[in-house]
Amino acid sequence: MAMELMKMPQLGESVTEGTISKWLVKPGDHVTKYDPLAEVMTDKVNAEVPSSFTGIIKELKADENQTLAVGEVICSIEVETAKTDNENAGQVSHSEENVDASVTRDVQQAVEPSSKARYSPAVLKLSQEHGIDLSKVKGTGNEGRITRKDLLKLVEAGNLPKADEPSTISDSAPEAMAPQVNRQTSPATNVTTAAGDKEIPVTGIRKAIASNMLKSKHEIPHAWTMVEVDASNMVKLRDNLKSDFKQKEGYNLTYFAFFVKAVAQALTEFPELNSMWAGEKIIQKKEINISIAVATEDALFVPVIKNADEKSIKGIAREIQELASKVKAGKLKAEDMQGGTFTVNNTGSFGSVQSMGIINYPQAAILQVETIVKRPVVINDMIAVRDMVNLCLSLDHRVLDGLVCGRFLARVKEIIEKISKDNTSIY
């Protein structure tokens, strides 16, 4: 027998950690290669982690709802093998050496006096969520390293060291520090609660969304602009086609499909918006992959329409339907969420008429398509009632400037306003 270690995989671009939402195995269970071990949740996707080995589950290294960094061990498996004991021993030694070497590097980085202290992604995330000053925390890990359990112990006791507090908090919290039952203060936000208030636990997926949004707002200098578009011709064409289309194709021809197609076309002409900030350089993506936001009752998912510029309005409508169905059925896969280069958000489906979206990191822009409403407008010095819609663009000002974004929005506006029965094909 040989012991192998399963580690937290990277389930998407820019994903640095995952939360074990549910274990599908327990110690002693026999698994074969590719059997699902656990359901893992990240800020991009919910996915099952398959086993890389055939054998017996020896130990689960993480609890449910525990967040682990990519590469951290989640469980150990006693592997069935026909190799000799010497070969098995070599494999175990090799696996352990890799893990030990990784831990040693982390410890050395954490305690090296000549450099800035380093912390694991899980520790940094918790400290940011609860406003903890890590310089005032005494760790219980190897060489005094601060662990996630150290911070959880402080959070549970309500004994959090803040930047303006002079004293250092030890690794153990006395029971006397426990919050009062009838009236207490939340350690994370200093929000006072009273009798009758309802406390709702933050789910793993909500934490993942919050973490990604916080990262986007902290790292990306957002700017915002908007154009008003006359969508009357588009509305007329879609309304004339929708019944026959549904009967023939079996799914809806939505307004949103027209907007996604218009954006994809405009991106081919203004590729600057199909870019990403990468520190010392800007990466202009060749493929135009449109991320679309799909909301459930308690979460937001962002699946991707790949190569949207090469698809017809019909093809885009079909993908929107398929991706939304996967989200609602909980069948969205990791690959469905990867590779997005620009996001289009259908905020109009909730009745919004104007909004500023938070950019989907690491993309450079997000377009909010608002509700189409009938409004009086002046045409040829006469007042007419038209179907109007606001398109709101949030942009990363490190990558994009107002001039190119203004031209991009003007082009999207032009495409939408020129849609008609005579010059627009949905196939």
- 401 included as an active-site residue: yes
Rounded CA gap, 124 and 146, in Å? 10
How far CA 57 is from CA of 50, 98, 329, in Å, comes to: 13, 20, 29
Rounded CA gap, 348 and 142, in Å? 52
- Choice among 35, 106, 171, 397 that is catalytic: 397
Helical ranges in 224-281 per DSSP H = 232-249, 255-269
Residue 173: partners with Cβ closer than 8 Å, 6 or more residues away = 153, 154, 156, 157, 159
Residue 146's H or E segment, with its range, is none
DSSP category for residue 202: P
CA angle 44/46/51 to nearest 5° reads 120
- 244 included as an active-site residue: no
Q: Which residues pair with 7 in a beta bridge?
A: 73
Token representation of residue 26: 């327990």
Rounded CA gap, 68 and 394, in Å? 31
Helices 121-130 and 204-219, packing angle to 10 deg = 90
- Choice among 100, 239, 244, 401 that is catalytic: 401
Residue 193: partners with Cβ closer than 8 Å, 6 or more residues away = 183, 184, 185, 186, 199
Residue type, 88: N
Rounded CA gap, 42 and 215, in Å? 14
Q: Which among 42, 49, 46 has a CA at the least distance from the CA of 7?
A: 49
- Over the range 297-328, which residues count as b (16 or more CB within 10 Å of their CB) and which as e? eebbbbbbbbebbebebbbbbbbbbebbebbe
Helices 255-269 and 402-417, packing angle to 10 deg = 130
Catalytic residues: 397, 401
